[in-house]
C-alpha cells in the first residue's frame, strides 16, 4: 500500500506492508511556500510533481515490484483553496491554511447566519482566516476575475485524488474544514454557499468515508507514479484525520483519547462520538463517521526554532524561562487558538542578567502553554472534566516533529502534569493514509487495521508535578496583553 502525506512543506509517500503495517520505505519531495505579510501560497502543480517523485522513490527504495502495489490514498494539508480552470489546471497558486490575509473575511462571515455561536451547530466551526470559506471570500473581493473564472474548487487532497483517478471527490473529514459543509447531516450547506457566492456544482462529491474506493489510477497518473492502472484509489482525507487513523483513534479503536501534535503548527484533537460545538475549536468530522474536534495554534516548532536562531542557540540549549521570570508569547504568525490573527510576538521580564537560554525556554513554555490551553477547551467540549483523575491520568499522545525533542517533551510534561505516550512511528499521517488505502482494497476498517499494525504504540513517560507557577505566569501575561495582541502586538 502507498500512503501519501502531502503537507505544507513536502510530500511523503510511505510504502507499507498491508499485512503487518511495516514501513518498507519512505519517499520525500519538497514543496515551496511563498508569501509575506500573512500570505502563504503554493503552486498545486508542484504537489502533483512531488507526489510522483515521492511515490517512485518509495517503491524503488522498498525494492518491491510496482505490480505489487494494490492501493493508494492521499492525506493532505487542510483548508487550502485550490481554484481550477479549463483542463483542471490551477488558475493561481493555492491559498494555504496558514494564510492569514482572509482574517477580515472570516470575521465578517462569522457575524452572519446567527453569529459565532450558531456556526458550530451548522458547520462545526466558526469561520476564521484558516477556513476555506474565508479564503474564497478573500479571492472574490481581491481577485474577482479568478473567482469568476473558476470551473472547480478543491481542497489540496481533493486536487491530488482527482489527478489520480479523474474523479472529483472529497471525504467528510477534509470537507468539514471548509465551513460550507454541514457536519451534522453530511452535506454542503446551501445557505452558506449562497452567502459566499459559490456554485455547488464547482465542488467535488463527498464520499461516505476516506477508505471509500473511488476508482483506479488513470493512465496519465499511473505513468507519472510508475504504477499499474489497476491500483485502487481511496477517497483519502485531511492530514489531521489521517493521523487519527494512524493512531488507531475512531470507531474501530480508541475514542476520547487526546492527541497533542507538535509541528509547524500545534494541534490538539480527539476522536469522539459526540459532536461538540465550541466556537473556540474546529469541530471537524473524522473520516469514519465519528468526530474530530481540534484546536490549532499557528506558532509551534517553527516559532521556537526562530527564537533559537535569533539567540544563536541550538534548539535543545534551554533553561526554564519561568526560573528567571521571562515570559514569551511566540505569536510570530498571528494566532488561531486563541483567535488573534494580527498578533505579534511578545517578550517580557528581560533583565541585564537574563540568560539567553531562559528566553528560549520561555518560548517553549509559551508555545506549549498555548497548545495545552486549547487542550483544556477540547476536553470540556468532549464532555470531559480536565480535573477528573480518570481524565487527567489518561496519557497524552504526543506526536509530530517536536515529540522527538527532549526540550519539547519535558516542557509539555511539566506544564501538563500528565503521562505521555510518544508513538514509535514517525509518519502517522502517511501510515493513516496507507490504512485508508488498505481499507479501499480489502473493505477492512482502517482504524481497526492501524490498531492491529500497532502504529500508535510507543514510549510511555510517567507524569511529573504540574508547574502551576509557570502556567499562571504565562496566563497572566496573555490576559494582560490580549487587547494589544488583537491589534498587532508589541515587544517590550
| Residue positions annotated with a catalytic role | 239
Axis crossing angle, helix 428-442 with helix 446-453, rounded to the nearest 10: 120
Neighbours of 475 (CB within 10 A): 13
Q: Nearest-CA neighbor of 327 among 470, 189, 424?
A: 470
Q: Nearest-CA neighbor of 99 among 169, 37, 145, 21?
A: 37
Give CA–CA dist 169/38, Å, rounded: 30
Find where cell 509530530 sits: 400
| Cell matching residue 313 | 542557540
Find where cell 510507543 sits: 458
Q: Report whether 76 contacts 155 (CB < 8 A).
A: yes
Amino acid at each position: 500500500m502507498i500512503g501519501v502525506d502531502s503537507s505544507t512543506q513536502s510530500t511523503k509517500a510511505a510504502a507499507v506492508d498491508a499485512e503487518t503495517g511495516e514501513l518498507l520505505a519512505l519517499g520525500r519531495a519538497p514543496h515551496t511556500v511563498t508569501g509575506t505579510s500573512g500570505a502563504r501560497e503554493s503552486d498545486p502543480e508542484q504537489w502533483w510533481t512531488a507526489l510522483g517523485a515521492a511515490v517512485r522513490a518509495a517503491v524503488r527504495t522498498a525494492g518491491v515490484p510496482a505490480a505489487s502495489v494494490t492501493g493508494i490514498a492521499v492525506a493532505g494539508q487542510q483548508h487550502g483553496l485550490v481554484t481550477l480552470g479549463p483542463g483542471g489546471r490551477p488558475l493561481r497558486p493555492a491559498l494555504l491554511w496558514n494564510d492569514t490575509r482572509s482574517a477580515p473575511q472570516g470575521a465578517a462571515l462569522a457575524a452572519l447566519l446567527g453569529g459565532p455561536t450558531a456556526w458550530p451547530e451548522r458547520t462545526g466551526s466558526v469561520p476564521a482566516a484558516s477556513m476555506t470559506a474565508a479564503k474564497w471570500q478573500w479571492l472574490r473581493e481581491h481577485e474577482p476575475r479568478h473567482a469568476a473564472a473558476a470551473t472547480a474548487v478543491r481542497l489540496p487532497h481533493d486536487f491530488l485524488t482527482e489527478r489520480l483517478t479523474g474523479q472529483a471527490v472529497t471525504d467528510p473529514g477534509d470537507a468539514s474544514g471548509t465551513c460550507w459543509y454541514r457536519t451534522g447531516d453530511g452535506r454542503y450547506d446551501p445557505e452558506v454557499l449562497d452567502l459566499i457566492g459559490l456554485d455547488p456544482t464547482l465542488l467535488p462529491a463527498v464520499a461516505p468515508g476516506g477508505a471509500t474506493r473511488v476508482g483506479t489510477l488513470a493512465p496519465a497518473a499511473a505513468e507519472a507514479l510508475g504504477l499499474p492502472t489497476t491500483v485502487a484509489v481511496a477517497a483519502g482525507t485531511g492530514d489531521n484525520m489521517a493521523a487519527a487513523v494512524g493512531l488507531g483513534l475512531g470507531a474501530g479503536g480508541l475514542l476520547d483519547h487526546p492527541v497533542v501534535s507538535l509541528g509547524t503548527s500545534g494541534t490538539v484533537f480527539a476522536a469522539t462520538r459526540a459532536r461538540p460545538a465550541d466556537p473556540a475549536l474546529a469541530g471537524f468530522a473524522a473520516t469514519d463517521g465519528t468526530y474530530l474536534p481540534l484546536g490549532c495554534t499557528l506558532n509551534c516548532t517553527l516559532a521556537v526554532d526562530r527564537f533559537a536562531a535569533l539567540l544563536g542557540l541550538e534548539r535543545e540549549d534551554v533553561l526554564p524561562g519561568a526560573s528567571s521570570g521571562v515570559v514569551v508569547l511566540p505569536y510570530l504568525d498571528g494566532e488561531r487558538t486563541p483567535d488573534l490573527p494580527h498578533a505579534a510576538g511578545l517578550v517580557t521580564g528581560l533583565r541585564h542578567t537574563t540568560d539567553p537560554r531562559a528566553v528560549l525556554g520561555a518560548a517553549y513554555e509559551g508555545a506549549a502553554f498555548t497548545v495545552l490551553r486549547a487542550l483544556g477547551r477540547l476536553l470540556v467540549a468532549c464532555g470531559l472534566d480536565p480535573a477528573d483523575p480518570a481524565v487527567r491520568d489518561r496519557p497524552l499522545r504526543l506526536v509530530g516533529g517536536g515529540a522527538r525533542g527532549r526540550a519539547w517533551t519535558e516542557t509539555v510534561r511539566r506544564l501538563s502534569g500528565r503521562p505521555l505516550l510518544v508513538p514509535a512511528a514517525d509518519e502517522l499521517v502517511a501510515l493513516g493514509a496507507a490504512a485508508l488505502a488498505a481499507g479501499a482494497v480489502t473493505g477492512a476498517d482502517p482504524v481497526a487495521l492501524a490498531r492491529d499494525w500497532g502504529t500508535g504504540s510507543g514510549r510511555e513517560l510517567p507524569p511529573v508535578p504540574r508547574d502551576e507557577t509557570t502556567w499562571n505566569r504565562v496566563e497572566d501575561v496573555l490576559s494582560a496583553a490580549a487587547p494589544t495582541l488583537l491589534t498587532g502586538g508589541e515587544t517590550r
